[in-house]
């Protein structure tokens, strides 16, 4: 009797506990379901779909190398799995835990109908493995990180099974092309392939490349002009590589990797938060923020468009927003600057920004995106103060973003390091580059005033 392997954000064969368990039991039918129904408003965004297409295609190749293949189906997960199990005579399903609220609901629904075995492996530690003295989940990052560190290193990653037994007859698979995951009219992703190699092999190659640079990470990670970070976020989101694998490789590189490893712990932290508060993506974690009077998009619409299209007149913000559009990724420091500018200088609700990121990031991740947006807004459980307002022009200078701006805002490419961060102030603005849509001081004061009023 075959067993089903339900793949989601775990598109790999190594260190895949669900696959290992399934393969030890007999013939395996690996299935990926394109499910836009369970997540509803959180159905995968455009850039992530681009990634998914390539990742699934690579996964099918790797499965074929092992005598297996990937079955593709579309629909609501529980319905598809129930129908497929009936069709092939399976009653048992292996899968990894996923913590997005829609996946947890889907798991519950599947477990009511079939024998669902869930395994760990997408995080360094499953949520709940470390708890506060009072027995609750950690809500603050620093003590959480300290507690996680005590359990590290994670268990060593295990290899992919040498062979995966095929069923006597394969069920029908839909074709990947019929899912139309790649943009066509227009193709807004022509630059993506240059930057990214989705799939397990690409993920591992990225880890290997990063090892040489891991020693510089503590300073390099803040400089958008250089490639100072691992660029593993989408690989980790789609589960092409596990954080345990990354941990072991980086730790054995001989560099002091503590700061990098703590970023991996941020990822675990964010997932714990969405378990505690499943609405993290759509509701303020601190409800006092519900009283903040954001600008109405009917009035602020042109400013929102300027932000999305990289035409705010703030070079560092515009460079970030254009990098996002062109490559599906943005440097972390610039994500913070661009998000802060939207929330505070433009006084636009963080949820609108988070939505735009959801659609445009190849690494769009419900936990990481929601927790980071709320961190910047100040409305998160553990967050920056709303009143601590980032000065984008100072940040740009401090973190040496001149080359980064030249790359993404070609209108300003001829400007010197001294003026490129704030061409307006030096009378050096190119004629085809917009003036600032709001002054720094003006934006700051409006934000502080709105905040004061929300406090009544």
Q: Which of 179, 332, 407, 411 is catalytic?
A: 332
Cα–Cα separations (whole angstroms), residue 246 to 44, 160, 333, 342? 25, 16, 22, 33
**Residue 42: active-site member:** no
Question: Residue 455 Cβ, how far from ligand FAD at the closest point, in Å?
Answer: 24
357 in contact with ligand FAD (CB under 6 A): yes
Residue 91 annotated as binding? Answer: no
**Residue 196: active-site member:** no
Question: Residue 84 Cβ, how far from ligand FAD at the closest point, in Å?
Answer: 30
Measured from the CB atom, is 45 or 313 closer to ligand FAD? 45
Measured from the CB atom, is 32 or 141 closer to ligand FAD? 141
Q: Which listed residue (77, 368, 374, 396) binds ligand FAD by CB under 6 A?
A: 368
Question: Residue 191 Cβ, how far from ligand FAD at the closest point, in Å?
Answer: 17
Question: Residue 113 Cβ, how far from ligand FAD at the closest point, in Å?
Answer: 32
Give dist(CA 417, CA 203) in Å, integer: 35
Question: Residue 321 Cβ, how far from ligand FAD at the closest point, in Å?
Answer: 12
Residue 113 annotated as binding? Answer: no
Binding mask 302-341 for ligand FAD (x = CB under 6 A): ------------------------------x--xx--x--
Residue 256 annotated as binding? Answer: no
Question: Residue 268 Cβ, how far from ligand FAD at the closest point, in Å?
Answer: 8
Question: Residue 55 Cβ, how far from ligand FAD at the closest point, in Å?
Answer: 15
369 in contact with ligand FAD (CB under 6 A): yes
Binding mask 217-236 for ligand FAD (x = CB under 6 A): ----x-------xxxxx--x
Q: Which listed residue (241, 244, 270, 300) binds ligand FAD by CB under 6 A?
A: 270
CB neighbourhood size of 281 (10 A): 22
Measured from the CB atom, is 82 or 147 closer to ligand FAD? 147
Residues 276, 131: contact at Cβ < 8 Å?
no
Residue 225 annotated as binding? Answer: no
Give dist(CA 72, CA 308) in Å, integer: 34
Q: Which of 6, 103, 329, 373 is catalytic?
A: 373
Q: Which of 174, 266, 384, 411 is catalytic?
A: 266
**Residue 61: active-site member:** no
Number of residues binding to ligand FAD, judged by CB under 6 A = 27
Residue 229 annotated as binding? Answer: yes
**Residue 50: active-site member:** no
Residue 365 annotated as binding? Answer: yes
Q: Which of 103, 196, 329, 350 is catalytic?
A: 350
Residue 232 annotated as binding? Answer: yes
CB neighbourhood size of 307 (10 A): 26
**Residue 329: active-site member:** no
Measured from the CB atom, is 68 or 230 closer to ligand FAD? 230
**Residue 266: active-site member:** yes
Q: Which listed residue (237, 351, 352, 421) binds ligand FAD by CB under 6 A?
A: 237
Give dist(CA 260, CA 318) in Å, integer: 27
Q: Which residues contact 419 (CB under 8 A, 6 or more apart)?
A: 425, 426, 428
Give binding residues as ranges. 217, 229-233, 260, 363-365
Which residues contribute to the annotated binding site for FAD? Answer: 217, 229-233, 260, 363-365
Q: Which residues are catalytic?
A: 263, 266, 294, 332, 350, 373
For ligand FAD, the binding residues (CB under 6 A) are: 221, 229-233, 236-237, 263-264, 266-267, 270, 332, 335-336, 339, 357, 361, 363-365, 368-369, 372-373, 376
């Amino acid at each position: 009797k075959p067993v089903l392997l339900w793949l989601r954000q775990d598109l790999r064969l190594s260190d895949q506990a669900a696959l290992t368990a399934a393969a030890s039991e007999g013939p395996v039918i690996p299935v990926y379901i394109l499910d836009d129904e369970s997540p509803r408003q959180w159905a995968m965004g455009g850039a992530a779909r681009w990634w998914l297409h390539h990742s699934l295609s690579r996964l099918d190749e790797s499965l074929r190398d092992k005598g297996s293949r990937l079955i593709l189906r579309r629909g609501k997960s529980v319905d598809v799995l129930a129908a497929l199990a009936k069709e092939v005579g399976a009653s048992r399903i292996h899968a990894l835990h996923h913590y997005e609220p829609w996946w947890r609901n889907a798991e519950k629904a599947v477990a009511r109908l079939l024998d669902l075995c869930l395994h760990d492996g997408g995080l360094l530690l499953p949520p709940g493995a470390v708890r506060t003295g009072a027995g609750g989940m950690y809500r603050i990052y620093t003590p959480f990180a300290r507690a996680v560190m005590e359990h590290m290193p994670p268990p060593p990653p295990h290899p992919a099974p040498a062979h995966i037994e095929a069923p006597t007859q394969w069920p029908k698979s839909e074709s990947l092309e019929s899912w139309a995951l790649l943009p066509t009219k227009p193709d807004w992703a022509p630059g993506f392939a240059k930057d990214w190699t989705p799939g397990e092999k690409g993920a591992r190659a990225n880890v290997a490349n990063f090892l040489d640079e891991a020693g510089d990470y503590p300073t390099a990670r803040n400089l958008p002009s250089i490639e100072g970070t691992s660029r593993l976020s989408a690989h980790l989101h789609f589960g092409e590589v596990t954080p345990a694998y990354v941990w072991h490789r980086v730790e054995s590189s001989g560099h002091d990797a503590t700061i990098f490893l703590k970023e991996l712990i941020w990822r675990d932290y964010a997932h714990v938060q969405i378990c505690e508060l499943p609405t993290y993506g759509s509701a303020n974690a601190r409800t006092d923020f519900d009283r903040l009077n954001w600008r109405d998009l009917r009035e602020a619409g042109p400013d929102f468009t300027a932000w999305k299209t990289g035409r705010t007149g703030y070079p560092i913000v515009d460079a970030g927003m254009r990098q996002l559009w062109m490559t599906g990724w943005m440097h972390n420091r610039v994500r913070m600057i661009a998000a802060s500018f939207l929330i505070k200088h433009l006084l636009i609700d963080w949820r609108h920004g988070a939505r735009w990121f959801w659609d445009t990031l190849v690494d769009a991740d419900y936990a990481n995106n929601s927790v980071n947006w709320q961190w910047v807004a100040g409305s998160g459980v553990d967050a920056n103060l709303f009143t601590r307002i980032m000065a984008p022009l100072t940040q740009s200078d401090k973190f040496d973003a001149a080359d980064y701006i030249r790359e993404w805002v070609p209108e300003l490419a001829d400007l010197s390091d001294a003026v490129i961060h704030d061409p307006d102030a030096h009378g050096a603005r190119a004629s085809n580059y917009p003036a600032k849509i709001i002054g720094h001081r003006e934006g700051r004061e409006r934000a502080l005033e709105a905040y004061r009023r929300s406090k009544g």
